[in-house]
Amino acid sequence: MLDVTTTSSGERAHPNVPTVDQADRTVPINLRQSGPTPVQMLISTRVRKSPFWHLSVEAGAWRATVYNRMYHPRGYVRPEDGGAMAEYDALINRVTLWNVAVERQIRVMGPDAEAFVDFVITRDATKIKPMHGKYCILCNEAGGILNDPVLLRLSSEEFWFSISDSDLMFWLQGVNVGRRFDVDIAEIDVAPLQIQGPLSADLMAAVVGEEVREIPYYGLMEAEIAGCSVVVSQTGFTGEKGYEVYVRDATLNAEAVWYAIRGAGASFGLRVIAPAHHRRIAAGILSWGQDLDAETSPFQVNLAYQVPRKKAGDYIGKTELERQRSLIDAGDYPFRQKLVGMKLGGTPITDYAPDFWLIDDIDGNRVGYVTSPWWSPELETNIALGYVPVEMSTIGTQLKVELPEAYSETSGQSVDAVVCEVPFRPSVNPSARERAVAAGRDWAD
Which residues are annotated binding-site positions? 244
Rounded Cα–Cα distance for residues 48 and 46 (Å): 6
User: How many other C-beta atoms are found inside a 10 Å radius of the C-beta of residue 140?
Assistant: 14
User: How many other C-beta atoms are found inside a 10 Å radius of the C-beta of residue 65?
Assistant: 16
Residues within the annotated binding site for substrate? 244
Rounded Cα–Cα distance for residues 261 and 256 (Å): 9
Beta bridge partners of 243: 195
Report the half-sphere exposure of 238 (CA within 13 A, side-chain side): 27
Residue 238 phi, psi dihedral angles, 5° rounding: -145, 175
Rounded Cα–Cα distance for residues 5 and 18 (Å): 7
- Contact call for residues 7 and 24 (beta carbons, < 8 A): no
The amino acid sitting at 92 is I
Mapped onto helix, strand or coil, the DSSP state of residue 418 is strand
- Contact call for residues 277 and 374 (beta carbons, < 8 A): yes
CA 210 remoteness from chain centre? 29
